[in-house]
Amino acid sequence: MRIHDITVALSPDLPCYPGDPPITVEPWQRIANGDAVNLSRITLGSHSGTHIDPPRHFNDSGITVDEIPLDLLIGQALVVEITGVREIGRKELEPLQLKGVERLLIKTDNSEFWNEKEFRSDYAALTVEGAHYLHREKVKLVAVDYLSVEKMDGDGEVHRILLNGGIPVIEGVNLFGVAPGEYQLICLPLKLKDGDGAPVRALLIGNPDAAAQPGFDPHTSKWPLA
């Protein structure tokens, strides 16, 4: 069994979405200075690093991060790979055969960006059409490999379609080195009361029985089709 930690490490060197609070980690107590313990003060936004967007993020009456059912955040998941495009719409999603998929992780060229400290505005993102398609396909959870599911000049409609449709979004996962296929997802957010978002620790566990499961072709999880 292989465990993939798809969480980026929180640090001041991590890219930050423009306008969000920066991440700081400052020494508060240090043994080297005569204190009894090492203790740090951390400041960050609720949407820093690998984090989850609950419906409350775009809707004052939506459920908060501490109200998301845990069984939605733990279970069978599919990683698909869509490369060479910056906009992910129905044309890119339809060949992936998503019927019955509840938790979808989309690996794109964004996974190459995590070694860069500066924010990349040219990241691949879901379109409004793509968001509607995932909602119609009854996907229950979507994860993307950069700091937003929506392009920078979007008006929030992609988020609203997903979140108001009851589809939480995990943003900022690191899928570099993760092959397309079926996994078990474990995603546990900080239990932030009334939170509009929170950092998460997200893991993918390799499915030891995947090779024995009929009907799964890894080539169908990549766009364009091999």
In SS3 terms, the chain reads as: CCEEECECCCCCCCCCCCCCCCCEEEEEECHHHCCCCCEEEEECCCCCCCEEECHHHCCCCCCCHHHCCHHHHEEEEEEEEECCCCEECHHHHHHHCCCCCCEEEEECHHHHHHHCCCCCCCCCEECHHHHHHHHHCCCCEEEECCCCCECCCCCCHHHHHHHHCCCCEEECECCCCCCCEEEEEEEEECCCCCCCCEEEEEEEEECCCHHHCCCCCHHHHEECCC
pLDDT at 4: 98
188 neighbors 182 (Cβ within 8 angstroms): no
Residue 18 lies in a domain: no
pLDDT at 226: 32
Domain count, the chain: 1
Q: Is 204 left (phi over 0), alpha (psi -120 to 50) or beta?
A: beta
CATH number of the domain where residue 146 is located? 3.50.30.50
Residue 195 lies in a domain: yes
Residue 171 lies in a domain: yes
pLDDT at 208: 56
78 neighbors 104 (Cβ within 8 angstroms): yes
Residue 139 lies in a domain: yes
Q: What is the pLDDT of residues 7-59, one digit of tens each?
A: 999 999 999 999 999 999 999 999 999 999 999 999 999 999 999 999 999 99
Residue 22 lies in a domain: no
Residue 36 lies in a domain: no
Catalytic positions: 57
Distance CA 219, CA 215 (A): 12
Q: What is the pLDDT of residues 22-34, one digit of tens each?
A: 999 999 999 999 9
Split at pLDDT 50, 70, 90, the class of 1 is confident
Distance CA 14, CA 171 (A): 14
Residue 224 lies in a domain: no
User: Closest Cα to residue 176, out of 14, 6, 2?
Assistant: 6
Residue 197 lies in a domain: yes
Tokens read off for 7:
């969480």
Q: Supply the range of the domain harboring residue 110.
A: 3-10+46-207
